[in-house]
């Protein structure tokens, strides 16, 4: 049995909204609010519209302070950076752009910005042909399929999502019995263009803006979607699972993940033979790939024997 429809489709109007319908909806919500029930709303005001349609019309067009019109360069930058870091999570991206709706941003990305960026990337490829064929091919794959959020290295980017109001106390669900006290983020830190000074310079592109050129890959050529890989936050990172389950092959080097131990933002405790950093998605910095840095430090000497095959 399929899902029950949210409204009687035979008796609701579809298609573009008339000015009269807009006025009806707007004046009602202005006076009474949505009442927290979109399904019931059209009946209350005598609109022959589906509740979902009313909600969409209000959110995308009628509500106050909606910004229509062309996007600025700064907005372009924010959208592209966020897209490359978190993918098509339009509502999150929209939350960073006051006055813009997720629908607007989605449309803008799909119809214009993506093409604009891809054009820029192709130009970049032509200029960097001295790179190896394999590297170029891998890069091309990623750039031509921007549906794959490639990397999650811009730590500061996420700071705009971090708590700023009060210290958090988080209990480790991994049964370690730890209580972690997290200091609030300095609110003055949330700005664009974001500060990249805390990111390993090897992980940044020539403009120190992102890490497009250093995307880690699986051996089969797929771009590593680090965020996807570790979507089941909170999770625990330690040197053991770091070395065995979170390895990626990166351009001939061995890479991986580690949490960024960054002052008060992340806490760590020493185990018997390794260091454990427990991270909560809302409270801590995202993990960052530190492939180059760790290779240089000699932390990764060889593949462990139980390395899952997909990382080999």
Q: Give the pairing type, strands 275-279 and 235-238.
A: antiparallel
Tell me how many degrees the CA angle 155-161-163 measures, rounded to the nearest 5.
110
Least distance (Å) between residue 96 CB and DNA: 12
Q: Measure the CA–CA gap between 27 and 43, rounded to whole angstroms.
A: 15
Q: Is 65 in the site for DNA (CB under 7 A)?
A: no
**287, 153 Cβ separation under 8 angstroms:** no
Using alpha carbons only, give the angle 302, 303, 307 rounded to the nearest 5 degrees.
170
Min dist. Cβ of residue 251 to DNA (A) = 27
Contact flag: residue 77 with DNA (CB under 7 A): no
- As measured in angstroms, the least distance from the Cβ of 142 to DNA is 16
Size, binding site for DNA by CB under 7 A: 39
Min dist CB 10 to DNA, Å, is 11
User: Is the separation of the CB atoms in 60 and 101 below 8 Å?
Assistant: yes
Residue with smaller CB distance to DNA, 68 or 297: 68
Q: Which residue, 52 or 135, is less far from DNA as judged by CB?
A: 52
Query: Is residue 61 a contact point for DNA (CB under 7 A)?
Result: yes
The single residue among 26, 45, 76, 106 that binds DNA, judged by CB under 7 A, is 106
Residue identified by tokens 């992340």 is 266
Among positive and negative, which fits the CA dihedral 6, 11, 16, 19? negative
Provide the b/e sequence for 193-220 (b: ≥16 CB within 10 Å): ebebeebbeebbeeeeebbbebbbbbee
In the region spanning residues 109 to 138, those forming contacts with DNA, defined by CB under 7 A, are 110-112
* DSSP 8-state secondary structure symbol assigned to residue 223: B
Residue with smaller CB distance to DNA, 108 or 218 = 108
**Binding residue (CB under 7 A) for DNA from 29, 56, 213, 299:** 56
Query: Could you say which residues in the range 12-31 bind DNA, by CB under 7 A?
Result: 13-17
Q: Return residues touching DNA (CB under 7 A).
A: 3-4, 6, 9, 13-17, 34, 36-39, 50-53, 55-57, 60-61, 68, 88-92, 102-104, 106-108, 110-112, 147
């Amino acid at each position: 049995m399929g899902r029950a429809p949210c409204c009687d489709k035979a008796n609701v109007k579809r298609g573009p909204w008339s000015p009269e319908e807009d006025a009806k909806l707007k004046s009602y919500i202005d006076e009474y609010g949505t009442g927290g029930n979109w399904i019931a709303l059209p009946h209350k005001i005598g609109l022959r519209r589906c509740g979902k349609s009313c909600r969409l019309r209000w959110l995308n067009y009628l509500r106050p302070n909606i910004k229509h019109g062309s996007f600025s360069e700064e907005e372009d930058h924010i959208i592209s950076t966020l897209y490359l870091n978190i993918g098509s999570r339009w509502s999150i991206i929209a939350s960073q752009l006051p006055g813009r709706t997720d629908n607007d941003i989605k449309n803008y990305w799909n119809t214009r910005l993506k093409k604009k960026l891809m054009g820029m990337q192709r130009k970049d490829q032509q200029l960097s042909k001295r790179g190896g064929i394999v590297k170029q091919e891998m890069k091309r794959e990623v750039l031509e399929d921007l549906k794959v959020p490639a990397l999650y290295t811009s730590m500061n980017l996420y700071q705009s999502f971090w708590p700023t109001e009060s210290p958090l106390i988080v209990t480790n669900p991994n049964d370690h019995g730890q209580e972690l006290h997290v200091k609030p983020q300095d609110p003055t830190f949330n700005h664009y263009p974001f500060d990249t000074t805390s990111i390993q310079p090897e992980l940044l592109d020539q403009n120190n803006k992102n890490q497009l050129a250093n995307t880690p890959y699986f051996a089969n050529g797929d771009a590593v979607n680090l965020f996807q890989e570790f979507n089941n936050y909170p999770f625990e990172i330690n040197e053991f699972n770091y070395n065995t389950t979170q390895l990626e092959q990166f351009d001939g080097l061995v890479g991986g993940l580690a949490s960024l131990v960054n002052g008060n933002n992340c806490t760590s405790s020493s185990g018997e033979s390794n260091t454990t950093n427990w991270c909560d998605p809302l409270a801590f910095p995202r993990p960052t790939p530190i492939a180059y840095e760790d290779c240089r430090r000699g932390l990764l000497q060889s593949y462990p024997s139980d390395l899952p095959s997909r990382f080999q």
